[in-house]
């Protein structure tokens, strides 16, 4: 989910290469991440104003996501891991973009969330020679719900997005080096942010290999069908089936 749909104006993904433009308080930045080997080693280039952020982010590469030690015994998971090598769970420097995209996916169809993301990016984002960027947390923090509702975003998601933006802009919520347990608690304390959004941010933004988004419409059915042959599932049953993969549950759900 490092691109928000095929029409994402801030990113493109093709040929094992992601190019992402994002805005920080220092200005626009563009990061190119390419797969350098079948084992998932990464080649990274950075352009833009966030040199300090780049240095702090580079300390997290290669990601400490347990990839080398992942040796599942479940037949399907083992086969998926073998035939889809190089799935690395990477902490990314565009953490507000990840958080915003997760909020916009709450309780709506994927295509609607994609349209909302694109509309905000084009209406309130910025363009530079490095590409088009989703608005920074500081920009979104200055908005009010009616400005987002005018783009077809319901009040609950508008309020939640602005709450995340203000908490980050004022208090540095989405710090690159944030402790996961502390971040979970801070996110869950915000209006409109529940377990699903929190775990999506930790999984896709911070590369947490054990994040489990509870409350998803489809994920419990997918996991229960794949791991136990059961056509329908629940969060409780999903957690039971994922228990043997503790520490790598987000990786397993991504493979499935």
User: Could you tell me which residues come within 8 angstroms of residue 254 by beta carbon, excluding any fewer than 6 positions away?
Assistant: 87, 89, 203
Q: Is 80 exceeded by the pLDDT of residue 38?
A: no
> Which CATH fold topology does 1-66+89-208 show?
Endonuclease III; domain 1 (1.10.340)
- From the list 211, 230, 210, the residue with the least C-alpha distance to 220 is 230
Give CA–CA dist 164/234, Å, rounded: 28
Q: Is 70 exceeded by the pLDDT of residue 12?
A: yes
Distance of CA 232 to the CA centre of its chain: 26
pLDDT in tens, 81-93: 999 888 899 999 9
User: Could you tell me which residues come within 8 angstroms of residue 31 by beta carbon, excluding any fewer than 6 positions away?
Assistant: 18, 19, 20, 22, 44, 45, 46, 47, 93, 94
The angle formed by the CA atoms of residues 16, 110 and 220, to the nearest 5 degrees, is 90
Q: Is 80 exceeded by the pLDDT of residue 255?
A: yes
- From the list 205, 170, 198, the residue with the least C-alpha distance to 57 is 205
**Residue 218 CB coordination number (10 Å):** 8
pLDDT of residue 182: 97
Q: Which of 18-22, 86-90, 222-226, 252-256 has the lowest mean pLDDT?
A: 86-90
Give CA–CA dist 74/227, Å, rounded: 8
CA distances, 86 to each of 29, 58, 68, 208, 222 (Å) = 26, 19, 10, 16, 22
More confident of the two residues 7 and 162 = 162
Mean of pLDDT values over 4-23: 92
pLDDT of residue 199: 98
Position 241 confidence tier, pLDDT thresholds 50, 70, 90? very high
The percent of residues above 70 in pLDDT, for the chain, comes to 98
Beta bridge partners of 11: 20
* Strand ranges for the chain from DSSP E: 11-14, 17-24, 27-35, 42-48, 126-128, 131-133
pLDDT of residue 75: 97
Position 23 confidence tier, pLDDT thresholds 50, 70, 90? very high
Reported pTM: 0.95
pLDDT of residue 40: 63
Whether 208 contacts 180, CB under 8 Å: yes
Mean of pLDDT values over 211-240: 97
pLDDT in tens, 174-209: 999 999 999 999 999 999 999 999 999 999 999 999
């Amino acid at each position: 989910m490092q691109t928000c749909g095929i029409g994402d104006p801030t990113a493109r993904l093709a040929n094992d290469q992601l190019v992402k433009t994002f805005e920080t308080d220092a200005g626009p930045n563009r990061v190119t991440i390419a797969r350098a080997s079948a084992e998932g080693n990464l080649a990274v280039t950075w352009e833009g104003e966030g040199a300090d952020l780049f240095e702090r982010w580079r300390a997290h590469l290669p990601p400490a996501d347990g990839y080398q030690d992942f040796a599942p015994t479940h037949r399907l998971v083992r086969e998926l891991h073998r035939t889809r090598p190089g799935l690395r769970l990477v902490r990314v420097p565009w953490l507000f973009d990840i958080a915003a995209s997760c909020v916009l996916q709450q309780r709506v169809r994927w295509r609607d969330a994609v349209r909302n993301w694109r509309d905000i990016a084009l209406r309130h984002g910025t363009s530079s020679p490095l590409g088009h960027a989703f608005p920074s947390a500081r920009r979104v923090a200055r908005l009010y719900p009616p400005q987002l509702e005018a783009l077809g975003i319901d009040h609950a998601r508008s309020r939640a997005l602005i709450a995340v933006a203000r908490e980050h802009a004022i208090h540095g919520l989405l710090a690159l080096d944030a402790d996961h347990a502390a971040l979970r608690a801070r996110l869950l304390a915000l209006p409109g942010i529940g377990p699903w959004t929190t775990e999506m941010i930790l999984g896709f933004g911070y590369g947490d290999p054990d994040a489990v988004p509870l409350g998803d419409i489809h994920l419990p059915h997918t996991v229960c069908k794949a791991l136990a042959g059961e056509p329908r599932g629940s969060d409780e049953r999903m957690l039971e089936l994922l228990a043997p993969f503790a520490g790598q549950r987000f990786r397993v759900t991504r493979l499935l």
